[in-house]
A and B are shown apart, each in its own frame.
Chain A
Amino acid sequence: MKFLYQIFYLLILAFMFCPVGLATSPGLDLTIEMTDFPQQEIIKKKKIRFNKACAKFGTYLSNNRGLWGSGPFKKVTCKTSTSGKGAKTPWLLRVSGDSSEKVFEIFYRSKAGKDSLQARYSLQTEVGPLVLMGKENSQLIAFYLTSSLPFRSVLPPDLKPGSGQAGLKGRSVALKNMNPPSELEVFSIDRVGDLWQADSKGRLTFKEENGKTAEWVLSELKPNSGDGDVLFVAQIENNAETLQAVDRMIRNSSETFFEKFLNFGRSAYVGGRYGVPLKGQGVLKNAPLIGLFGEFRSGFLSGLRLNYDLIPKQQASDVNGSTSFNWSRLQLAYSFSKIFSGKIINSFDVTPRLGVANLNYEFAPSATSDTTAYSFKLNRAPTVGLEVGAEKATNLFRVRAWSFGSFSVGVLPLDKNHTTTSLRVGLDLYREFISFRMMKLAVLGFTAFESTKIEKKLTDEEKESDATLVRQLQLNSSFLGGGLTLTW
């Protein structure tokens, strides 16, 4: 009783002496409710199944229990309401949709009852909502949603300002190909009218990824922050890239094999480019480079890339004779990439490439020349190569530096007469300039240097001959050009 009086007394004092402002703390209780689906589904699957799936999903949204320690909510309640009126918590996660699309939306509900959408994730799938919420990739959906909110987690209360070691730890195992963000923002936040007033307090810096968990430590905190205040955490830098990568992971893991088969062209990337020689010699002096490229980004072919490059037939002649040259290659590639949130690069990729190359280089001497005629021909010669690239994406552009090496000897000895080795380095710059619905058009600028060496294997007869023979041809070329890419 005495204790109750004291609480009452303190409340009266707080009311009397604290100025009444408009700012309110956001509250951390969430209701998950499922609407719009046929009611029979809930009945058929039974409430118990919804509650089970919802409880699992709710876990990943609460108390830093999601991926990378995400999850801001203190208490999560599950409701199978169809009206949405049952929820009394400040936060509401509504799962809705139809047989072909599932939508997850998180609303903040003001004290006046006004809902404002804070996070949204939609997925084109025939997989049921309960299966989605209960499956392993529900961790990824929860992570996508919390990463879209104004704050993705709450700093653990054991924070000791200035200790330099207190921080945030969380599972990262489902975020397989992604590197954790190098920095997380720490701040306090209040709702003022329809807006969030956030006050930066410090930052968490990535420390290490140890096995299945990633850890950030408090590297900076304003004086007097964290003493009893609730401090929130968000990933501000490269947030859009993280969401994009997580979205792709969810889509790939949510499709059935049949869906993957049907959806192979739903999302893709195609482009064309044209380059002029920067420094070519002889017959390559004016040779342009024409290229077409594309990548499947959905379905069972997701990640597969196709490239076709061509130098059309070129002819040149001088006093010694005439030279003709044409070249083309078709390549099939699959990229393995690691996404970073670093300041210098955002992603690193390794791309094995298989292809076929055609090349025709012929030299016909003039009547007065004493040079011997020679030719180098590759006819659908198989090539194997490996490309490594590093990319930096900003709000304005995306730049990618890459290097590629290939050879066609030994591994695929279909063309036994020639050995080719090639080394290329280049820099690509993309700038998106038109965005319409799901379509994005970008302009591409590129520069590349290529050195190709072709070695002819001499026959026994040629070896024994006294004639002057050309055994090796080296072609060096560099290009500068531009192009267009279309993504959907």
Chain B
Amino acid sequence: MVIANRLSQLKIQQVVLTPAVLLLSAMSTLALAEVAKGPKRAAADWGASWEAQYASNIAGETSPGFLSRVGVVRKSGAGFQVLPLEQKDADQHSFMTVPAERDLNLARFANKVVLQNPEDKPKSNPCEVSHQSIAICLGLDALLDVSNPKWKLLKFDKLKKSVELLLEAPGASDEDYFKWIHRQLNYDGVVIDVEGDYLLVLLPPGRAGDEIQALTLKDSADKIFLPTSTVKGTSLLQLIQRSGRFAVFLPVITSAEAAKSFVKGSKLIIEKGK
């Protein structure tokens, strides 16, 4: 999507091409596209389109370095039961989206089993037979299995193969699944795009007010969990614009190590501002 947009800005249809220079052209086009971005746009102009573009690209995809869409399941018979979740509950503690009852109904409907012989025994819905099938049907990149006393958090790759991230029992203060997840992650938000000095960030919409500051965390881009002992702030960010779970920040105080934190996947914690 990003590439297509930038190509259209460059009006490549007016360029005369030959197969011999295709590869070279492709590479140079990308370089030109970077240049063609031109002077910095006002935050108000690109905040909304940035958000929409991200929302469009992220659907069903995996997000390296962080979890973006999570479901909660419990063992039920030979398969699993996907627990109905309310986005507003997740929004208190997490920037992740969750499948609502409506998404579940749609997945079940689209994947219902049609029997060739109507007298055969009805089969269970194939969406709910395994962790992988649940992740595919609901477009999840993470799954919390609460079947056992120790909850299991799984992450899925592009092929929807799962990697077990964590196996830990909920603590006494973990009122709900998202509070538990938040406690494990140990951060509030994640940088999902960078343009010039501006950072597009995902935040828990239920927690972040309109006047907040945030702290980027050192060496956090490729880590899903941040142990408390390793958390170290690198720069203080000032909120520029907010829309739901998306926010645009601008660094106001930076350290020498800050540049490494201005990359996709970097984590941050909310600091109450002003």
Contacts and interface: CB of A to CB of B under 8 A. Distances in A.
B116 A199 contact: no
Contact of A6 (B13, B60, B103): B13
B196 to A, nearest CB: 22
B9 to A, nearest CB: 14
Interface string B37-60: 000000000000001110110011
Contact of B114 (A120, A188, A196): A120
B118 interface: yes
Given A198-B106, A223-B55, A150 B111 contact: yes
A395 B133 CA distance: 24
Interface in A1-31: 2, 5-6, 8-10, 12-13, 16-17, 19, 21-23
A223 B59 CA distance: 12
A72 to B, nearest CB: 13
Contact of B127 (A122, A195, A234, A239): A195
A2 B109 CA distance: 46
Interface stretch (B17-25, B87-95, B147-155, B201-209): B17-25
A223 B25 CA distance: 33
A223 to B, nearest CB: 5
Contacts of B51: 223
A117 B114 contact: yes
B116 A105 contact: yes
Contacts of A239: 109
A188 B61 CA distance: 14
B137 interface: yes
Task: Give the size category of A's interface with B.
Answer: 35 or more
Given A236-B105, A239-B109, A122 B118 contact: yes
A190 interface: yes
Given A12-B26, A13-B26, A200-B103, A148 B114 contact: yes
Given A120-B115, A199-B59, A192 B107 contact: no
B26 A187 contact: no
A89 interface: no
B102 interface: yes
Query: Chain A interface mostly helix, strand, loop or mixed?
Result: mixed
A65 B53 CA distance: 33
B12 interface: yes
Query: Chain B interface mostly helix, strand, loop or mixed?
Result: helix
A185 B106 contact: yes
A105 B117 CA distance: 11
Given A16-B26, A192-B160, A223-B52, A150 B17 contact: no
Interface string B151-167: 00000001110000000
Nearest to B13: A6
Given A192-B136, A200-B103, A236 B116 contact: no
Contact of A234 (B22, B110, B137): B110
A224 B158 contact: no
B7 interface: yes
Nearest to A120: B114
B118 A196 contact: no
Contacts, number: 105
Nearest to A4: B17
B55 A234 contact: no
A20 B109 CA distance: 27
Interface string A25-42: 000000000000000000
A337 interface: no
A224 B114 contact: no
A186 to B, nearest CB: 10
A2 B15 CA distance: 9
B132 to A, nearest CB: 9
B65 interface: no
B109 A9 contact: no
Interface string A136-153: 000000000000101100
**Most chain B beta-carbon contacts within 10 A, residue among A120, A122, A148:** A120
A219 to B, nearest CB: 14
Contacts of B110: 150-151, 189, 196, 198, 234
A8 B109 CA distance: 39
Nearest to A235: B109
A17 B118 CA distance: 46
Contact of A13 (B7, B118, B160): B7
A197 interface: yes
Interface in B122-150: 126-127, 133, 136-139
A234 B109 contact: yes
B3 interface: yes
B18 A5 contact: yes
A193 interface: yes
Contact of B53 (A22, A195, A224): A224
B52 A224 contact: yes
Nearest to A105: B116
A22 B135 CA distance: 13
A476 B118 CA distance: 48
Contacts of A6: 12-13, 15, 17
Contacts of B55: 222-224
Interface string A288-307: 00000000000000000000
B119 interface: yes
B164 to A, nearest CB: 21
B16 interface: yes
A200 B102 contact: yes
Contact of A2 (B16, B23, B25, B26): B16
A411 to B, nearest CB: 46
Contacts of B18: 5
A437 interface: yes
A373 interface: no
Interface in A174-210: 185, 187-190, 192-200
A443 interface: no
B17 A197 contact: no
A364 interface: no
Contacts of A13: 3, 7, 26, 29
Nearest to B49: A224
16 contacts: A2-B16, A2-B17, A5-B16, A6-B17, A8-B17, A9-B17, A13-B29, A16-B26, A151-B110, A195-B137, A197-B60, A199-B60, A223-B55, A224-B53, A234-B106, A234-B110
Given A5-B16, A197-B139, A224-B56, 8 more contacts: A117-B114, A119-B114, A120-B115, A195-B137, A197-B107, A198-B110, A224-B52, A225-B56
Across the A-B interface, the 3 shortest Cβ-Cβ residue pairs: A150-B110, A224-B52, A196-B110
